[in-house]
Amino acid sequence: MQRYRCCACGRTFNDLTGTPLARIRHKAKWLAYSQVLLDSLPVRKAADRVGVHRNTAFRWRHRFLHWVKLDRPALLNGIVEADETFLLESQKGSRTLNRPPRRRGGHAAKRGISGELDCILVARDREGRTIDAVTGRGALKTAQLERELLPRLDRQALLVSDGHPAYRAFARKHRIAHQAVNVRAGVRARRLDSLAIHVQNVNAYHQRFKVWLQGFRGVASRYLPNYLGWHWALDGERVILPEQLLRIAISVINR
């Protein structure tokens, strides 16, 4: 790659400086590794296929996914379904833990929704455009909806959710049309004039994400945003070629 020198400070740089792929070696293997990501292979199998060390395969995974997780729709409109799902907090890979270790993944010590669970918010319109975010630990709050959902939500959209009070307070505060489905009472769907009111699309997305995640035998909580972006790229075959994935990974170049 061509290397340049700054006339003012004398520092040198190339096209990848300041990008997630800076200082990564073996450029000839990048395209093959993009195919590994499309195949959703675990770290060790990915390393064997490409011919790199497993630590390199893990580091490349999160470098390549840095921009992929940000490749999201600018706005959700029409009927927008929103719901949250939860995963047990994980410190996989950490050398020190701030809690007693669990056996084989383990279970939460407290019943129901608690600070031991990572909350994942997913919002999806009927055209399939999807945004998601790890909002924190424990139950969803209105402030988290304002931070994660409000900037991506068309003010003319109809927000559909379950009976969680945070959605109702959020919609009332920002004057957004809102309909709730009482899932706890067994109501899965209902009609509003000619509109189907349900959150089945977003719940199906939750299920596909959790099934896909099982192939990795658990992921660390700090990497969850990367895995959400990775799944979004694969869901619905939005990205089907390794060239597409590599272009997204290096899209910052010459922007």
Residue 152, number of CB atoms within 10 A of its CB: 17
Q: What is the pLDDT of residue 255?
A: 35
Instruction: Please say if the pLDDT value at position 254 is more than 50.
Output: no
| Helix, strand, coil shares, percent, the chain, to 5 | 40, 20, 40
Nearest of 84, 87, 86 to residue 105 by alpha carbon = 87
Q: What is the pLDDT of residues 49-101, one digit of tens each?
A: 999 999 999 999 999 988 888 888 889 999 999 999 999 999 988 888 888 88
4-13 mean pLDDT:
94
Instruction: Please say if the pLDDT value at position 253 is more than 50.
Output: no
Q: What is the pLDDT of residues 121-140, one digit of tens each?
A: 999 999 999 999 999 999 99
Q: What is the pLDDT of residues 219-244, one digit of tens each?
A: 999 999 999 999 998 997 888 899 98
Q: What is the pLDDT of residues 178-229, one digit of tens each?
A: 999 988 788 888 888 889 999 999 999 999 999 999 999 889 999 999 999 9
Instruction: Please say if the pLDDT value at position 33 is more than 50.
Output: yes
Q: What is the pLDDT of residues 147-156, one digit of tens each?
A: 999 999 999 9
How far apart are the C-alpha atoms of 151 and 147, rounded to whole Å?
7
What value does the mean pLDDT of the chain take? 91
Residue with more model confidence, 166 or 111: 166
Instruction: Please say if the pLDDT value at position 252 is more than 70.
Output: no
151-172 mean pLDDT:
95
The pair of three-digit structure tokens given for residue 115, joined into one six-digit string: 């600070």
Residue 134 in contact with residue 69, Cβ under 8 Å?
A: no
CA 72 vs CA 94, 123, 172, 222, 229: distances in Å: 29, 12, 26, 20, 8
Confidence of residue 3 (pLDDT cuts 50, 70, 90): very high
> What share of the chain in percent tops pLDDT 90?
67
Q: What is the DSSP letter of 103?
A: S
Residue 109 in contact with residue 134, Cβ under 8 Å?
A: no
Nearest of 54, 37, 42, 73 to residue 246 by alpha carbon = 37
Q: What is the pLDDT of residue 185?
A: 80
Which amino acid is residue 241, in one-letter code? L
Q: What is the DSSP letter of 163?
A: S
Global pTM value: 0.89
